[in-house]
Amino acid sequence: MDDSSDIKLTRRDFLVAGATSAVAVTLPSTVAATTEPSTAGAPVVSRMTLQVNGTVRKLRLDTRTTLLDAMREHLHLTGSKKGCDHGQCGACTVIVDGRRVLSCLTLAVMHGGRAITTVEGLGAPGNLHPMQASFVRHDGYQCGYCTPGQICSAVAVLDEIKAGIPSLVSADLTARPQATPEEIRERMSGNICRCGAYSNIVDAITDVPWRNA
């Protein structure tokens, strides 16, 4: 006898169940989030705490919400841009615990308790971060859409260099790297500028007093 008529699992139920199990397996134990019970077919919701630009923010989000969407749609921090939404353009780059992160490719629920910095947290009109001021000085942007991600990435690049982290173009992996145009171009290669302002972007980054940036 065929019992298939008793199976009530819809495609949506299957996808939600799969996403729920994936989150349960991959979330680190340090995540500051509490998952709420959900009925079959309903999104899994978590109450979480994010530390963004030095401010603790409490959110109630679908566990499938990306960090980018959490910032833009729920915290109204729209500096980080949604470009390709596939991790290929770098427009959504933010800094998490001092490292560059593509916020469109990571879930918000994975970043509880971590220090998240967006372009809004680097500086503000009248009190610009040295990198922001250098981008203005060197006209390191045209349409400006990629600029927030470029600036966040550039700040983290200089921190990587200060920490002595080599890149693919570092001639001597045991020597401390320098902020040369070649190093900067390699390290910034994941940030795409459709306007083609690359030479100005490199000039802007190399003009920042990087040991103190």
What distance in Å separates the CA atoms of residue 181 and residue 179, rounded to the nearest whole number? 7
Asked if residue 44 lies in contact with residue 20, where contact means CB atoms within 8 angstroms, the answer is yes
Write the CB contacts of 159 (distance below 8 Å, at least 6 apart in sequence): 98
Q: What is the dihedral of CA 125, 126, 127, 133, to 10 degrees?
A: 70
Q: Which residue has the tokens 């940030």?
A: 191
CATH architecture assigned to 130-206: Orthogonal Bundle (1.10)
Q: Which of 149, 115, 131, 96 is nearest to 212 (CA)?
A: 131
Q: Which of 95, 108, 98, 85 is nearest to 152 (CA)?
A: 95
pTM: 0.79
Q: Which of 70, 69, 68 is nearest to 48 (CA)?
A: 70
On whether the 10-122 domain is CATH 3.10.20.30, my answer is yes
Going from N- to C-terminal start, the domains of the chain cover: 10-122, 130-206
One digit per residue, the tens of pLDDT, for the chain of length 213 reads 555 445 455 555 554 555 444 444 444 544 566 766 556 667 889 999 999 999 999 999 999 999 999 999 999 999 999 999 999 999 999 999 999 999 999 999 999 989 999 999 999 899 999 999 999 999 999 999 999 999 999 999 999 999 999 999 999 999 999 999 999 999 999 999 999 999 999 999 999 986 554
